[in-house]
Structure 1
C-alpha cells in the first residue's frame, strides 16, 4: 500500500466509523452489531439420503452436487437437528459432527436444533432420552449441562436452539412449562450456562411452533438469557394469513427486544407424489389461495417469507425445512418421504425455481 492509498483508506475508515457509530451519552462510541441475513435450509436427513447416491441437476439439466448447488444459490446457513441417542444413529452426535465439519469447510454457518430427545421433539413430543429416564431432577439437570457443554465445545455452532418447538417445554414431564415451570426454567438456565461458558460466539435461539400463544410463551421466558426468537410457520398448521405472520413477528421482536427468525417453513411445488408414502401436504385446502402448488407458487411463497423477514425491523432471516427430502427410497416406498413435493428439487432431482429465493440482495 503506497502513501496515496494509505491516506485514502484512512479517510474511508474514519467516514465509515463516524456514520455507523453512535455516542452512548457518556463519550464512548457504540458500533451497532452486524447481523448477516440468515438464508438457511434444514437438510438434516442428507447424510442418510446421500447413501442412496442420487444424481442432481441444475435448472439447465447439468449434473451438480447437492451441497454445491445450495451454496452457489445463496444458502449461507445449514440447520441440523441433533438427537441424543437415536436408534438409527442418524442425527446422532457423530453424524452431525462429521456433517457440520464438511458444511463449515464448504463455507456454511451451522445452526443446531438440539432436541434433547432420542427422536423427534415438537409440541406433541418432548420425550426424555432413554438413557436419562429415571433420573432425579438434579441428575437430569446435570446431564443437560454436560451434554450441552459437549455439543458447543465440539461443534461451536453459530446458532443453537435450546430445544425444538418447545411450546409446552422440553424433557417432559420434568420440564413442562405449565405444570413444572420452575423446573423448566432451571433446565433452560443450565443449558444456557453451558452455551455461554463454552461457546461465547454462539447465538441462542428459543424456538416456538406457530403464532397463536407465542406472545404468552415468550413472556414466560422473558427473563432468560437468549438472543433470537425463532418461529415455525407452515400454512397447514399455523394459519394462512401472511399478514398475521408479519404482524406477530414485529410485535414479538419489539415487545421482547429480540432479533427474530423464521426457523422453519416450507411449501409444495405440486400436490402429486413420487413414492407410495402419504404426503403431509396434498390438498388444495391446505394451501394459501394466492400461492398454488406449482414451482412458481413455491418460489413466490418463499420470496414472500423472505420479504417479511427482511421488512420486520429486527427480522434476520428464514430457514426452509426439508429441502433435501426427495423420494430417496424409490418410487414404491411406503416408508419414504412424506415431503418430496415440498423439497427444492423436483421429482427428477432437477433444481426448482425456489432456489432463486435464497439469494440475498
Structure 2
C-alpha cells in the first residue's frame, strides 16, 4: 500500500499542475493511480424492456450508436442482471435473462448475476419467498434453493453470482431471517454457495450488503459461508455523504475478512430535473453531496471518479457497478409509470452519453 500511496501523491500533484493549463474540465481525471479496476460494471436489468421502445442513443459525438456498443467502448466490461424465480410476467425471468445474457456475451461482456430468491424485488426490508416456496417445509426449502441455484448456474454460467440481493437482514423470510433464524439463514446461504461451486467452480460468489453501517458485524456472521467477494451498495441518499467514511469501512472489511471488495450498486444525478411525470428517487439538494458534486453532468462524473478512486485505494478493491444507467424516461414525457431514475442515468434527456461514461476506464 505504501507504493500505491506514493504513486497517488505524485500523480495527484501532476494532475493539479495540468488542470491549470486550461484543458477541458470534463476530460480531466480527478485522480489517476496505477492500479486498474478489474470489474467495471453497469446493471442493465431493465434494458430488454427499454430496447423494445427502439430509442436512439447517442455517443459522445452525438451520433446514433448501439447502446451496448457505447458502454463497451467506454470501458464497461461486465453487465449485472437481476433474476427473479417466478415473476408474474417475463421480466427478470430465467428465459429473459438467458436470452439477454447470450446477446451480452456476443458483445464481449461478462455476466454478473443477482439471485433475488424472490418473485419480485428483494432488499433489506423485502425478502419475500417465491410464491411456489411459501407453503413448503424448511427441508423442502433447502432442496428448492439447491436445485434452483444449480439450474441457474448451469444455464447462465456467470462470472459473478450474488446469492441474495442486499441481504442485511437475511433472505427468504421468515425461514432465512438473519435476526430471528440466523442458523437457518446461514445454512441456506451455505447450500446456495455449495450449489454454485458444484455446478461451475469458475463463478465467483458475492455476498451483498446495502450500505456500510453495521457491515462489520454482518460479515462476521458470514464466517462459515464459502464466498469470494464482498459487495456493498452505496447511495448518498441512504448511506451517508462522506466518501472518506465509506473508504475507511471498505478498508476495514477487506482487512478483517480477507475478501476482495466491490461496490455492487451506486448512482448519482446529473440534474435534479425530470423527464417524465414519475416521481424520482433523488430530486432534492439535501439528498446529494454538495458542494463537492453538484447535480450536473460534470458533478455526476466527478462523484463516480471519486468513488472509483476510493475503491482502488483499498488493497483488495476490484470493482464497481453503476445502477439504473439504462433507466431513461422510456415511457414518454407524461408517464406516471415510467422511470424514477432518469435523472441518474448514463444518458441525458436527449439520450446523449454523459461525461460519466468516460470515467469507467480512465486509464485506457
Q: TM-score, normalised by structure 2?
A: 0.89
Question: Could you tell me whether the CA contact under 8 Å between 1:37 and 1:360 is conserved in 2?
Answer: no
What corresponds to 1:130 in structure 2?
Answer: 131
Shift in Å at residue 274 of structure 1? 0.2
What corresponds to 1:79 in structure 2?
Answer: 80
Give per-residue Cα distances to partners, 1:242-294, cap 9 Å, x unaligned: 00110000000100010000000000000000000000000001010110000
Shift in Å at residue 110 of structure 1? 0.4
Stretches (4+) displaced over 2 A: none
Q: CA RMSD in A?
A: 1.1
Q: Which has the larger radius of gyration?
A: 1
Measured in 1, the distance between the counterparts of 2:137 and 2:241 equals 43
Question: Could you tell me whether the CA contact under 8 Å between 1:44 and 1:91 is conserved in 2?
Answer: yes
Shift in Å at residue 60 of structure 1? 1.6
Measured in 1, the distance between the counterparts of 2:36 and 2:166 equals 23
What corresponds to 1:259 in structure 2?
Answer: 260
What corresponds to 2:313 in structure 1?
Answer: 311
Measured in 1, the distance between the counterparts of 2:72 and 2:255 equals 32
Q: Secondary structure at the match of 1:53?
A: coil
Question: Could you tell me whether the CA contact under 8 Å between 1:156 and 1:202 is conserved in 2?
Answer: yes
Question: Could you tell me whether the CA contact under 8 Å between 1:229 and 1:260 is conserved in 2?
Answer: yes
Shift in Å at residue 111 of structure 1? 0.3
State how many pairs are aligned.
Answer: 328
Measured in 2, the distance between the counterparts of 1:353 and 1:133 equals 46
Measured in 1, the distance between the counterparts of 2:230 and 2:36 equals 14
Give per-residue Cα distances to partners, 1:40-67, cap 9 Å, x unaligned: 0001000011111111111221011100
Alpha-carbon distance change, 329 to 211 in structure 1, aligned in 2, over 3 angstroms: same
From 333, 336, 339, the equivalent of 2:338 is: 336
Give per-residue Cα distances to partners, 1:75-122, cap 9 Å, x unaligned: 000000000111121111000011111111111110001100000000
Q: Secondary structure at the match of 1:318?
A: strand
Give per-residue Cα distances to partners, 1:306-361, cap 9 Å, x unaligned: 11111110000100000100000000000000000000000010000010111152
Shift in Å at residue 223 of structure 1? 2.0
Q: Secondary structure at the match of 1:223?
A: coil
What corresponds to 2:351 in structure 1?
Answer: 349
Structure 2: which 5+ residue stretches go unaligned? 1-34
Give per-residue Cα distances to partners, 1:145-186, cap 9 Å, x unaligned: 010000111111000000000000000000001110111011
Q: Secondary structure at the match of 2:104?
A: helix
Question: Could you tell me whether the CA contact under 8 Å between 1:280 and 1:338 is conserved in 2?
Answer: yes
Q: Secondary structure at the match of 2:281?
A: coil
Shift in Å at residue 36 of structure 1? 6.2
Structure 1: which 5+ residue stretches go unaligned? 1-33
Q: Secondary structure at the match of 2:283?
A: coil
Measured in 2, the distance between the counterparts of 1:325 and 1:88 equals 19
